[in-house]
Structure 1
Amino acid sequence: MLEQSQIKTPEYVSINFSIAGIGSRAAAFLIDSLIIGVFNFVIFILALFSLDSIIYLLFYNPDSLWILAWAVLLIFVINWSYFFLFEYFYNGKTIGKRLIGIRVIQDNGHRLTLLSSFIRNFLRVIDDLPGGYFIGIIMIFFHNKHKRLGDLMAGTIVVHDKAPNKKKKRSKSVSSDKQNSQQHVIAFDSVLINQLTEHDYQLVKTYCQRYPDLPKHEKASLTRQVGEIILPKVHLDQHLNNLTEVDNILHQLYSRLKDEWSY
């Protein structure tokens, strides 16, 4: 059974996430390590092929050592930046995390920031001590939210994402819940839309992304909570008594805002 963590957003809405344990994180890390290893091997082989021979390099032409120096530097950059860049630009996922179905988010439920991604991956150097990711494994195993040092310092947590092979089934159930309401297109006031903050957007985004995974009784509760916060800001609070309509408004609002606020 997956361990649950309840996260309160800055808007005081509680959202449940399933924490990724050491097994799923280790599996994702092994996949990522394999991918990095393939890149390292290719770079090393290309560097060797660019030289006549190792003996010639070491004893007759030491100046060409720069080729190996550049190869080592490139390998270092790939090893360090792989996790940092993928997790920031790929919504908290590396290739391994995506395949396993987990991702990194901030403790408040929001998307990983550039600084958070930098800190948690910079501290991999310490988590890897004395070797074989020993410190990181020990901390993940004993911490109640399975956090390593990088997660503690960056304020991040690794959670289970929506399973790709279940998305279609979940989408069908959601679309059936909203089949009638989707036909009603909402006319938002542009002035009121422009007054919404990034926190408002993040709340609506989190609601829409997590909605398909929630049990039916939690959907109603969360829809009401988010609706009571957002709808008055766009002067649509007259719809609060109709949760189906509230859900429709929130999803349409997310579609309207995501191009502006996505990063």
Structure 2
Amino acid sequence: MSELVTGEAVALELRPARLPSRALAVLLDLTVAMLVYVVLTIALVAATASLDDAAQIAVSIATSVLVLVGAPIAVETLSHGRSLGKLACGLRVVRDDGGPIRFRHALVRGGIGVVEILMTFGVVACIASLVSARGRRLGDVFAGTLVVRERVPVVRTGFLPPPPPWLAGRFSGLDLSAVPDGLWLAVRQYLSRMQQLDPQVGWAMAERLASDLSARTGTPVPQGVPPAAYLAGVMQERQAREARRAFANGAAVGGPAAGGVHPADAPGSYEPPAGFPPVAAPPTAHVAQTAPAHETVQTAQPDEPSSDRPAGGTTGSTSFVPPA
């Protein structure tokens, strides 16, 4: 991901296109341009047969410049950064701030592209793209542009089972500000896949995640609460806080609310348990807001098992079924 900051100080997370996809797009564009050039050359040779050699050479040079330089500039300007090859590969040229390009951006990219792509057979462009952290060639650097991927694979998130009813509101006093995003992602992934895991493996993962989560919050897991139910309860509490913060009316923009989660407050990184595939944080735009005045934070107290809670720490009659 590449974080771009717009003029309104909004952070955008875009996925820059790398060398293989860009090279394929350029190859498609050049193939189409050469076909058009050959067709136009044949037509012009027939139309200018009565002219002398100098005039025919001038027409040929003008045609090559128009097709190989002028046409790509016009196409990128009119399509706002999408040539035929980029459209086929799901790419697009944007400005450094994420906005659409204009004629001057396309002109600089096209002019420098003649040297680094056509005259050097793409060697200079390949070297510049490999050296650049965001895969930019020299034309992108001087024009202030970036080629990004428009078609990003959609990650399907599984259903998160709700916690048992007797855990409702049990974790309202937890301090979740020290929990990193990597741990939240691991917990969410486990809850969405726990029914597909081997019972013993799933139970071990739940214990590991519950131990890490309790260490971050500073409050031990309540006795008699299964680790999977504990994870579901804390995750529900976190989602409830995020929903309250998002829909709070009249809240001033400032630091994170008490108990809230913000990437800047997540110290360090988190290594998920063995068996989890690598996870990456989805593109998000974080807006920190203060909590409403009526919202208070309570300290977590080790409550006694309630009368409506099943004995022995089982989940009872609920849709949540932790691993055996």
Give the structure-2-normalised TM-score: 0.46
Tell me the CA shift for residue 217 of structure 1: 7.2
CA distance in 1, matches of 2:54, 2:118: 30
Q: Which runs of 4+ in 1 moved over 4 A?
A: 215-219
User: 1:142 is matched by which residue type in structure 2?
Assistant: V
- Aligned with residue 25 of structure 1, among 17, 22, 26: 22
**1:9 aligned onto 2:22:** no
What are the within-5 Å matches in structure 2 for residues 83-94 of structure 1?
Answer: 83-94=72-83
3-state SS of paired residue (2:32): helix
- Aligned with residue 107 of structure 1, among 88, 96, 100: 96
Tell me the CA shift for residue 68 of structure 1: 4.4
3-state SS of paired residue (2:52): helix
CA distance in 1, matches of 2:118, 2:103: 24
C-alpha contact 2:15 2:149 (8 A) present in aligned 1: yes
Aligned to 1:118: 107
Tell me the CA shift for residue 33 of structure 1: 0.4
**1:78 aligned onto 2:67:** yes
User: 2:5 is matched by which residue type in structure 1?
Assistant: K
- Aligned with residue 133 of structure 1, among 103, 122, 127: 122
Aligned to 2:40: 43
User: 2:90 is matched by which residue type in structure 1?
Assistant: G
C-alpha contact 1:120 1:151 (8 A) present in aligned 2: yes
C-alpha contact 2:13 2:283 (8 A) present in aligned 1: no
C-alpha contact 2:82 2:91 (8 A) present in aligned 1: yes
* 1:149-204 C-alpha deviation (Å, 9 max, x unpaired): 111111111100136x98xx9xxxxxxxxxxxxxxxxxxxxxxxxxxxxxxxxxxx
* 1:17-46 C-alpha deviation (Å, 9 max, x unpaired): 111000000000011001000111101211
User: 2:20 is matched by which residue type in structure 1?
Assistant: G
Distance 1:217 1:40, change over 3 A: closer
Higher helix share: 1
Q: Could you tell me which runs of 5 or more consecutive residues in structure 2 were left unpaired when the two chains were aligned.
A: 157-279, 290-324
User: 2:31 is matched by which residue type in structure 1?
Assistant: L
CA distance in 1, matches of 2:45, 2:151: 43
Tell me the CA shift for residue 51 of structure 1: 5.8
C-alpha contact 2:69 2:114 (8 A) present in aligned 1: no
* 1:80-125 C-alpha deviation (Å, 9 max, x unpaired): 0122111111011101100100011111111112212111211113
State the identity %. Answer: 22
CA distance in 1, matches of 2:51, 2:48: 11
C-alpha contact 1:129 1:135 (8 A) present in aligned 2: no
User: 1:5 is matched by which residue type in structure 2?
Assistant: S
Tell me the CA shift for residue 49 of structure 1: 2.9
C-alpha contact 1:120 1:150 (8 A) present in aligned 2: yes
Q: Could you tell me which runs of 5 or more consecutive residues in structure 1 were left unpaired when the two chains were aligned.
A: 53-60, 170-214, 229-263
CA distance in 2, matches of 1:131, 1:218: 37
CA distance in 2, matches of 1:49, 1:118: 32
Aligned to 1:63: 52
Aligned pair count? 165
**1:142 aligned onto 2:131:** yes
CA distance in 1, matches of 2:126, 2:282: 36
CA distance in 1, matches of 2:34, 2:43: 14
